[in-house]
Amino acid sequence: AIDLPIPAYIPAEYISETALRIQLYRRLADLHSAAAIDEIRAELADRFGPLPRAVEGLLYQLHVKLMASQAHVTAIIQDGQKIGLKLPYLGQVDRNALQLALGNDVRASRTAIWLNRSEDETTWMLALLDVLQKLGQQPIPTGTEEGAGL
C-alpha cells in the first residue's frame, strides 16, 4: 500500500469520457518500467494537453511503486510530518550502516525507514525517490525476498 499526501487520479475535467479514463487506469496498472511511465506521460500530454497535478501525482505514485517493489518495500505510509517505508528485513541488518548509506535526512528503525515530509512538496518527493533508489542498491538478507514488495 502507498499512502502519500498527494492527489493521484485522472480528473474528469482532463479526460471527460468515463470509458476512456477506465481504459487508461487499466493501462497504467500494467506499467512495469520507468520508461513505460515516461511514454504514457508523453502520450497523455500529446493527446490531452498539459498534465494536471492529480495526473502527475498518479504517475509519480506509479514510479514510487515500481522503485519500492525493487527495494522490497512492503508499504509506504505517512505519519504526521514523516513518511515511512516498511521493510520486512530491518531487524536483520546493521541499521547504522544502512543509516550511513541513506544519509542524515532519514532514520532507520527496526520496522521502517523514516524521512521528514518538508513543507515543499517537490523536496520530499525527490527525497523519497532518492531513498528508494539507494534502498534498491542495498543487499537484502537471505530469506527475506519471498513475499516482499507492494
In this structure, what CATH number is given to the domain that contains residue 32? 3.90.1150.50
Q: How many CB atoms lie within 10 A of CB 23?
A: 12
**pLDDT (tens digit, 9 = 90+) per residue, 17-31?**
999 999 999 999 999
Side by side, the strands of the sheet bearing 75-79 are: 75-79, 82-86, 112-116, 106-108
- The total number of structural domains that make up the chain: 2
**pLDDT (tens digit, 9 = 90+) per residue, 5-20?**
999 999 999 999 999 9
Domain residues for 122? 72-150
pTM over 0.85: yes
Regarding whether 115 and 61 lie in a shared domain, the answer is no
| Band (146; pLDDT cuts 50, 70, 90) | very low
- DSSP structure string for 75-142: EEEEETTEEEEE-TTGGGS-HHHHHHHH-TTEEE-SSEEEEE--SSHHHHHHHHHHHHHHHHTSPPPT
**pLDDT (tens digit, 9 = 90+) per residue, 39-56?**
999 999 999 999 999 999
Regarding whether 79 and 62 lie in a shared domain, the answer is no
**Type of residue found at 90:** L
Regarding whether 107 and 94 lie in a shared domain, the answer is yes
Are 91 and 83 in contact, with CB atoms under 8 Å apart? no
CA dist 124 and 126 (Å) reads 5
Residue 150, pLDDT score: 65
- Kindly state the DSSP code that residue 9 receives in the 8-state scheme: S
**pLDDT (tens digit, 9 = 90+) per residue, 80-113?**
899 999 998 888 888 888 888 888 889 998 889 9
Regarding whether 42 and 113 lie in a shared domain, the answer is no
Q: Classify residue 103: in a domain, yes or no.
A: yes
CA dist 13 and 95 (Å) reads 46
Regarding whether 64 and 83 lie in a shared domain, the answer is no
Domain boundary among 16, 35, 70: 70
Mean pLDDT of the chain: 91
